[in-house]
Structure 1
Amino acid sequence: MFSMSPSRPLLRRSLVATLISALAGGCSTLPPYQRPSAEVPAQYAGAAPGWAQAAPADAAPRGPWWTVFDDPVLNQLEARIDVSNQTVRKAVAQVQQARSLVDYQRAGFFPTITAGVTQDRTRTSQNVEFRALAGKTIPDYAAGVSASWEPDLFGRVRDSVTGAQADAQASEADLEGVRLSMSADLAADYFALRSLDTQKKLLDDSVTAYAAALKLLQQQLANGAIDASAVAQATTQLEATRTQDTDIDVTRAQMQHAIATLVGEPASTFTLPPNGSNATPPAIPIGLPSQLLERRPDIAAAERRVASANAQIGVAHAAFFPDLVLSASAGLESTFFAPWLTAPSLFWSLGSQLAGTLFDGGRRTATLHGATAQYDGTVADYRQTVLVAFQQVEDNLSALHSLADEADSQQRATTAADLSLRLTTNRFNAGAVSYLDVVTAQTIALTNQRIADQIAARQLESSVLLLKALGGTWGDRPADTAATATAAGAPA
């Protein structure tokens, strides 16, 4: 008979050495990860001449970017976002959920230990032959502890932890993205409300002036100095302006309700006093395009999801290798309760199992292909997110540049309309023109002033959207950063 007994000790030692090495170091099927490449322009095409390039400060924490507007009321409202905004609270809960999944996956590194106590009574049929206990009722008392452990030989658990950590980091970036979005929405709504207050004040003043003019014309009509057409024209102008004034109230109420929802307060209990003062768009240091990859939380979240998808490829690879399970159990068992706690009642067992799948109809291969396809999809999502980010920055840079020119042109038009109104009024008082000319000049002046106010509101909105597109001001004190940019030549 052929015998291999002389080589069995050598084979046994080789297997033990291999097992110890695997347990100590482990193997990993995780593919090496690198952040996906994305095309980054050298500079922003839409930046107007004079915009300052911010000094790199990628390691600095993201600060309260809205303070660049230097508005105490806005600062107070923004402080309520983290506390009361329900969308932010949901994002915080999702971060906590993602972190718990990391702990869940990390638990796979440790053994599972169970303990239990059982008591039962068993009776064997009396009609069963060749059994010594046939027809007898046997009680059984047992208590024991069992442990099982699956060493992470091929990195399945490690890769799962890596993927869960990447998902948790993506959730944290999502939280920052939600905070940025909510704070930007609040700032945009706030400045829209401020613009409505400015227009409301303009219309209120116009209504007061038109009412006084109508009263004067009615007196002149009563004295026979003018005909009734001038009174009709003045009445039409006054009522049309009152209609616009009332419409402002409707829009302002809706904007106030939107702000209440953002700060987590019922609309019926929230009020913002009117403030007709003009806000000035701040100087914004736009930085370099390459810094956008670190500033934007949505880009960070997309990149972390690529890392998570890469880890899932490692998990899918690990499924092709066998699993080793080590188990142990010990306890006490006795038919009678009295000797249950004595040494003869002790039982124990030690064992191990190495098992792998030989054939599954291609399921593991399909899972690996699916994980690879998911990775490719997340890479495409990352690159698309980068492209959209640059588009949003360029859109708002171009908008600010164009709105600055538009504001200058409109200011000249408004000044000319005011001068025309004064000259026409003087000519009417001198009897050189009819009141229709005055009404026309007043309408043109009011329209131009409202257009100027609306352009100023659009400039503030574009400033907010640009800060959002840039990922928020990078630094502890954004106001200081903006002042530095202004000193360096950024437009005010």
Structure 2
Amino acid sequence: MSPTSPSPRRVPSCLAILACLAVAGCAVGPDFKRPAPPVVNSYAAETPATTVATPDVAGGAAQSLRSTTDISGDWWTLFHSPALTALVDRSLKANPDLKAAQAALAVARENTLAQRGAFLPGVSAGLTGARSRTSDPAPTSTPNVVRSRLFTPQVSIAYAPDVFGLNRRTHESLQAQEQAARDQMLAAYLTLTANVANAAIQDASLRAQIDATHELIALNTKALEAVSYQANKGYASPLDVAAQRAQLAQTAATLPPLLTQLAQQHDLLAALTGRFPSQAPPEDLDLASLTLPQDLPLSLPSDLVAQRPDVLQAEANLHAASAQIGIAVANRLPSLQITGDAGATALAFSHAFGPGGGFWDLSAAVTAPVFQGGSLLHQERAARAGYVQASEQYRSTVLTAFQNVADTLAALEHDAEGLKAAAASAEAAKLTLDLSERQWRAGYASYLALLSAEQGYQQARIGLIQAQAARYADTTALYQALGGGWWRRAEFSGNQDGH
């Protein structure tokens, strides 16, 4: 070490002074406080504890709502359908939207870690080598030429003490943005699992409706043939034939939309599982293979805001907006910059790190904004307005969350009643069909009456299929509205970042 280099005792002293300056600083701007949970005791004016049951019908079990039941982290397995479980598991491994959300979280996390460097001094090292040639400008018989070399190794230190908390508020804002990215990833996971379940249920419902529609078309075709035969024998009028032909055309017209919807559901399932439409997953879900969960969770209203990813993301955005106020205020205050250099100079590289030729310097500079054309003031005002905006967006998100749960509870109740009515209608239509068939065989009813009874039964069967699918979809909607149980999954519960 050169004689003029800073002594070993002086360096720790300087670092101690810098640490004191950093600790002594205060973080300007508001300190964020999490919003208090809504003061409400229920989601709706009246919430039934148990839905009505429809015995001996798929999807007709009574469902009980229990606040003591936690949401399963893999709630889709409660339907006891291997096909549905396989579809969801495949989507969690291959869905590009979920992978993109996970990558966005990694970006936000690395940005937060990068900001930590602002709390520490920046150290850089350099080595400069120079060679020069000079000569005496006076005219002489012998030129006087001087050649020299100069080597300068140097270490530079720069540090900006966080006197008013600019770095702390910036880091706080980035942490909140990282949390928002995490909550957005959770929302993508929740939306994905619910969409796969809904698409599979709708796919099964459409295939059952298409089968019933094919049978209706076949029945109407037979009816048209029977009426046409009667018209040829003089027992039916051309008006009867035209009416039956119109009935057949109307029934046939309902098939193409169903086929279109089925193709769309296949394409949707392929996309959700990370495949192209030509590579649709082979699983075919059957409504009869599903088991309707009977014990449903119902989180307390105060817990909902800590479970819904969209509410958590809105809270993180509010936190980031709060930190932005501190950043804007700190930008209007003076900043301190401390720099130091230490090194040596030598004419030979071998002497550059030896004694002699050493130098060091330590300087501090205070910079304060004097006139910025009002931009800093308006940036602070914009940050405060942004906080108000984020606060109202948070409130809107909470209201929407409660609305989703209330709507789902109403659907659970009324669709259970709808399934019961649809089952009664299908049972009555089946009874009518059985009686018509007996009367036709005994010669007391016409074949057209039998076909009409069969048409009525198939139409009631389609209504029953739709009612069954609605009950399964309502159950999926409840799990989604309550947050989907992500906190019960190991890959998400290990790092909740303060939630």
TM-score range, shorter chain: 0.7 to 0.9
Per-residue deviation, 1:359:
3.5
Measured against aligned partners, the alpha-carbon deviations of 1:80-100 in whole angstroms (never above 9, x if no partner) come to 233211100110011011111
Change (3 A) 1:406 1:126: farther
Aligned partners of 2:197 and 2:476 also within 8 Å? yes
Show structure 1 runs of 5+ residues with no match: 1-15, 128-134, 478-492
Match of 1:323 among 326, 332, 335: 335
TM-score by length of 2: 0.79
Q: Which residue of 1 aligns with 2:107?
A: 97
Change (3 A) 1:285 1:17: closer
Change (3 A) 1:125 1:440: farther
SS at match of 2:306: helix
Match of 1:370 among 382, 399, 408: 382
Answer yes or no: is 1:54 the counterpart of 2:67: yes
**Residues in 2 aligned to 1:350 and 1:71: alpha-carbon distance in whole angstroms:** 72
Aligned partners of 2:216 and 2:455 also within 8 Å? no
**Residues in 1 aligned to 2:132 and 2:411: alpha-carbon distance in whole angstroms:** 85
Higher deviation after alignment, 228-237 or 298-307: 228-237
**Residues in 1 aligned to 2:157 and 2:419: alpha-carbon distance in whole angstroms:** 76
Match of 1:171 among 181, 195, 208: 181
Q: Which residue of 1 aligns with 2:162?
A: 152
**Residues in 1 aligned to 2:160 and 2:28: alpha-carbon distance in whole angstroms:** 17
SS at match of 1:80: helix
Q: Which residue of 1 aligns with 2:366?
A: 354
Aligned partners of 2:18 and 2:161 also within 8 Å? no
**Residues in 1 aligned to 2:339 and 2:482: alpha-carbon distance in whole angstroms:** 55
Amino acid at match of 1:306: L
Change (3 A) 1:109 1:463: same
Q: Which residue of 1 aligns with 2:305?
A: 293
Amino acid at match of 2:181: S
Change (3 A) 1:233 1:303: same
Per-residue deviation, 1:41:
2.4
**Residues in 2 aligned to 1:273 and 1:168: alpha-carbon distance in whole angstroms:** 37
Answer yes or no: is 1:272 the counterpart of 2:272: no
Answer yes or no: is 1:407 the counterpart of 2:406: no
**May I ask how many residue pairs the two structures share in their alignment?**
452
User: Where in structure 2 are the equivalents of 1:434-449 lying within 5 Å?
Assistant: 434-449=446-461
**Residues in 2 aligned to 1:320 and 1:124: alpha-carbon distance in whole angstroms:** 51
Change (3 A) 1:451 1:428: same
Amino acid at match of 1:258: L
Q: Which residue of 1 aligns with 2:472?
A: 460
Per-residue deviation, 1:475:
7.1
Q: Which residue of 1 aligns with 2:57?
A: none
Q: Which residue of 2 aligns with 1:22?
A: 21
Q: Which residue of 2 aligns with 1:302?
A: 314
Amino acid at match of 2:124: T
Measured against aligned partners, the alpha-carbon deviations of 1:329-374 in whole angstroms (never above 9, x if no partner) come to 1223345657545433333222222332334343332222121111
Aligned partners of 1:30 and 1:315 also within 8 Å? yes
Q: Which residue of 2 aligns with 1:196?
A: 206
**Residues in 2 aligned to 1:56 and 1:360: alpha-carbon distance in whole angstroms:** 58
Measured against aligned partners, the alpha-carbon deviations of 1:468-488 in whole angstroms (never above 9, x if no partner) come to 1111147749xxxxxxxxxxx
Higher deviation after alignment, 311-320 or 72-81: 311-320
Aligned partners of 2:112 and 2:171 also within 8 Å? yes
**Residues in 1 aligned to 2:466 and 2:453: alpha-carbon distance in whole angstroms:** 20
Higher deviation after alignment, 336-345 or 372-381: 336-345
Amino acid at match of 2:429: A
Aligned partners of 1:234 and 1:439 also within 8 Å? no
Amino acid at match of 1:42: N
Amino acid at match of 2:32: Y
Measured against aligned partners, the alpha-carbon deviations of 1:274-328 in whole angstroms (never above 9, x if no partner) come to 4444235423222222221111011011111111111222222222432222222
What's the RMSD between the two structures over aligned residues?
A: 3.7
SS at match of 2:163: coil
Change (3 A) 1:105 1:17: closer
Aligned partners of 1:214 and 1:231 also within 8 Å? no
**Residues in 2 aligned to 1:293 and 1:27: alpha-carbon distance in whole angstroms:** 32
Higher deviation after alignment, 329-338 or 385-394: 329-338
SS at match of 1:177: helix
SS at match of 2:40: coil
Per-residue deviation, 1:407:
1.5
Measured against aligned partners, the alpha-carbon deviations of 1:214-265 in whole angstroms (never above 9, x if no partner) come to 79969x98xx898898999988877876665565444322211110100101
SS at match of 2:362: strand
